[in-house]
Amino acid sequence: MNWGDWSWMMPEGFSTFTAEVDSLYYLILWITGVTFFATEALLIYFIVRYRHKEGRKATYDHGSTKMEVVWTAIPLLILIGLGALSKGAWDRMKIDVPAGAMEIIVTAKQFEWNATYPGPDGALGTADDFDVLNQIHAPVDQPVWIHLRAEDVLHSLFLPEMRVKQDAVPGRDIPVWFEAMATGDYTIGCAELCGIGHTTMNGTLTIHSAADFQAWASARAEQRPQPQP
Amino acid sequence: MGKALDAGGHHDHHEIPWIRQYIFATDHKMIAKQFMFVSLFFLVVGGALAGMMRWQLGFPSQPMPGGMILPDAMMAPTPNGAIMLPEFYNSLVTMHGTIMIFFAIMPLLVGLFGNLLIPLQIGAEDMAFPRLNMVSFWLAVPAGILMLASFGVEGGAAGAGWTSYAPLSTSGEWTGVYLGQQLWLASLTILGFSSLVGSVNYISTVINMRAPGMTWFRMPLATWSLFVTAVLILLAIPILAGALIMLLFDQTIGTGFFRPEVGGEPLLWQHLFWFFGHPEVYILILPAMGITSEVLANRARKPIFGYHSMVLAIVGIGFLGWIVWGHHMFQSGMNPLLGTSFMISTMAIAVPSAIKVFNWLATLWKADIHLDVPMLHALAFVSMFIIGGLSGIFMANTPVDIYIHDTYFIVAHIHYVLFGGSLFAIFAGITFWFPKMFGRMMNEPLGKVHFVLTLIFYNLVFFPMHNLGLRGMMRRIYDFTQYEFLAPLQPMNQFITVFAFLLIATQVLFVINFFWSIFKGEKASENPWDSNTLEWTVPSPPPHGNFAEMPMVYRGPYEYSSPESDTDFLPQTTPPGGGSSGVPEPTPTPEGVEA
């Protein structure tokens, strides 16, 4: 087995969300890690230290209100603080789609991802739109706004390297956005059980440089089947 | 009937026909045993389903040993053996979760321990409604039969996950499963009625049938937790039943509650399901916490630390459990503004759980810890519940949840709570109350071997699942090697599978110990654990009607190592000053005793 598989580090991320998600993750890892080692060590220490021996008698003690207050207040403050600290990142990732984002439509259905691009006129929902199957192409360093839709059942768009996950719900148009920071090929996965072919519902997210993306988009727009006269 | 003349409730003198004693029994102790045998059977079934799933994950699309005996609808026969089909894998995912949650863990905690402990611990002769109690068990049986039968119908068993998210679950068009999904819905609806009937009974019994002096704050924590659990069941199950029936209508008569193509709302199912489902999570852990508190205080020979805050934590969880359901739905398409509200409420509900852990730890401080089998399991519960509780904080945090939602991280989390938590508590409870149920002790060395191996293998199976989740491996996925970035995780999956098989095999030791001890175990005395609570003041096993005379309760349940007693325990029935010739009790009349 690869010992790296046991790692508690987050895998490398390539979007602007990475820093925010990963730093919150590491903060929680520290808090829970310290709590874990402290409580388990105490548990083991007590088991060893106070195990039954001839003649030992337990202390007759019903508790202490002071300690109850302490160990209620401290976790409460830490947890609520953690919640408050996370609100900003959540709102940025799920609510505030930045201006100037490139808009595309991604439609999920059993068992494929269909990405619709605006074509040369730059507007979605017009005749020159073109589709690509199981691929999403996007430029680097530019926000991409995906209108996420589903045709049949629930699916979930999972872009692990971009720290993006969002269920696609039939009847809804759900905004998903991200901004990639490096060119390359990344994973598209489906994270919501969607039927027999769920496991095959994967694809490739390709992040191009701005120029390469323009070239790709124009080439694809030309390949688009022309409407019959 | 001459029995009416029989003062003092000595119902055991007259003969009960065999069928009324063992089959259509109304005695709460027999019903508890019936629930135990049936749910242990389902625990084995659920384990077998998990084993098959693990085969596919450890050895993707390789012939499964013994797979040839399964029908072609489940396995594709090849010259080298039978390979699992994806539709069967989806059924395994669904049915493993459904069976473990609804037919194993829940009836063990609520059906077994609720029935066994509530009347005995509060000093009642039986449940308030013994026949209703019988109905509760005999509704669970057909529900179980329907659930198992669904494997044999055309299209196979339900395959939309134990959560059966709509629209996948609304039509066989999407899954290939028609009748199987409908049987799943019908079975759970019937089981829901079984739970409802049981919970009404538990609530009535606790409120009305406590022995004189058994005030609310003298009740053992197991009974407290089972009482709050019953309230949760009473309020949550109707929501589930409503949702199940709506989904059944969508499936069968063309309604469109959850079907968007006719104007329905898929997210409505999730809201209804989790509005039931989150209280359900606490239904599955509160009794385990209660059992642990009993065993821990008794075997540590020390009063439970902070009894009142333990009760308040149970009640607090009972309230807060209703306002956190949305944390299952952060990525569902629910308005993201709600994400933060549900994150905060979820963080808040972690606090009572933390309080309980700290109180258990403090109970062990300066204690006199007897490490016998029930105690080992109770300590394992505390230790594993810490892991399950802490891993929950990752998912409660909305931005982090974006990445780990629907990955193996959540699979690890639920198993640390439901297996590391609930199941270890169930082992603690069965081994602790076994002498009371059967009048014999379980074998201690064999029990220790079973415990040690289970704890080790359990952690080797479920701990690495956190790491799989962090690497991005999705849950409910038939063949993860289809993803290039997940294919390198095969060795780790194989590792997990090997130890999963060992974990399953280890349970044979428990089965052997269990049945051997029923017939051949050392005879148990009335009170083998030197316990204070009322169930240990009656013979093992207790006769029909439990108490020869009405017990009088004078003190709390955890008076261990009290200076008032010459021994290290002081039963709740000991009158003031009865522990020794020494210290007198300040209040001579027990609180709440009526004339």
Per residue, the 3-state secondary structure of B218-260, as one string, reads HCCHHHHHHHHHHHHHHHHHHHHHHHHHHHHHHHHCCCCCCCH
Burial of B72 (0-12, 13-18, 19+ CB in 10 A): exposed
CA distance B20 to chain A (A): 44
Its ipTM equals: 0.95
Grouping H, G, I as helix, E, B as strand and the rest as coil, residue A54 is coil
Cα separation, A33 vs B390, in Å, equals 9
pLDDT band at A221 (very low <50, low <70, confident <90, very high): confident
- pLDDT at residue B35, as a whole number: 98
Tokens 């596919």: give the residue. B56
Which residues of A fall within a CB distance of 8 Å from B161? 193
CB pairs under 8 A between A and B: 291
| Rg, Å, chain A Cα set | 25
Among the listed residues B244, B304, B356, B287, the one whose alpha carbon sits nearest the alpha carbon of residue B112? B287
Residues with Cβ within 8 Å of B171's Cβ and at least 6 positions away in sequence, in order, are: B250, B251, B259
Q: For A8, which DSSP code?
A: -
**Antiparallel, parallel or unpaired: β A102-109 and A144-150:** parallel
Using CA coordinates, name the residue in chain B closest to A85: B397
Cα separation, A28 vs B347, in Å, equals 12
What pLDDT tens digit does each residue of chain B (595 aa) get? Answer: 334 444 444 444 567 888 888 899 999 999 999 999 999 999 999 999 999 999 999 999 899 999 999 999 999 999 999 999 999 999 999 999 999 999 999 999 999 999 999 999 999 999 999 999 999 999 999 999 999 999 999 999 999 999 999 999 999 999 999 999 999 999 999 999 999 999 999 999 999 999 999 999 999 999 999 999 999 999 999 999 999 999 999 999 999 999 999 999 999 999 999 999 999 999 999 999 999 999 999 999 999 999 999 999 999 999 999 999 999 999 999 999 999 999 999 999 999 999 999 999 999 999 999 999 999 999 999 999 999 999 999 999 999 999 999 999 999 999 999 999 999 999 999 999 999 999 999 999 999 999 999 999 999 999 999 999 999 999 999 999 999 999 999 999 999 999 999 999 999 999 999 999 999 999 999 999 999 999 999 999 999 999 999 999 999 999 999 999 889 999 999 999 876 544 444 444 444 444 3
Burial of A123 (0-12, 13-18, 19+ CB in 10 A): exposed
Among the listed residues A25, A31, A21, A32, the one whose alpha carbon sits nearest the alpha carbon of residue A9? A25
> Is the backbone of residue B134 left (phi > 0), alpha (psi -120 to 50) or beta?
alpha
* Phi, psi of A108, rounded to the nearest 5 degrees: -100, 140
In the predicted model, is pLDDT for residue A4 greater than 90? Answer: no
Please tell me which of the candidates A2, A40, A202 has its beta carbon nearest to residue B482. Answer: A202
Q: Do A58 and B483 touch (CB under 8 A)?
A: no
Helices (H) and strands (E) in chain B, counts: 19, 2
Compute the residue count for chain A.
229
Compute the CA torsion angle B439, B445, B450, B452 (nearest 10 deg): 130
Cα separation, A170 vs B454, in Å, equals 44
- pLDDT at residue B13, as a whole number: 54
User: Is the alpha carbon torsion for B509, B510, B512, B517 positive or negative?
Assistant: positive
pLDDT band at A228 (very low <50, low <70, confident <90, very high): low
Tokens 């548990």: give the residue. A43
Query: Which residue of A42, A86, A188 to mutate against B (max B Cβ within 10 Å)?
Result: A86
Among the listed residues B229, B241, B237, B91, the one whose alpha carbon sits nearest the alpha carbon of residue B152? B91
Cα separation, A40 vs A32, in Å, equals 12
User: What is the distance, to the nearest Å, from the Cα of residue B90 to the centroid of all Cα atoms in its chain?
Assistant: 24
* Contact yes or no for B313/B349 (Cβ under 8 A): no
The mean pLDDT value of chain A amounts to 94
Among the listed residues B289, B392, B315, the one whose alpha carbon sits nearest the alpha carbon of residue B346? B392
* Phi, psi of B425, rounded to the nearest 5 degrees: -65, -35
Please tell me which of the candidates B93, B340, B492 has its beta carbon nearest to residue A90. Answer: B340
Over residues A146-198, the pLDDT tens digits come to 999 999 999 999 999 999 999 999 999 999 999 999 999 999 999 999 999 99
* Contact yes or no for A96/B337 (Cβ under 8 A): no
- pLDDT at residue B28, as a whole number: 97
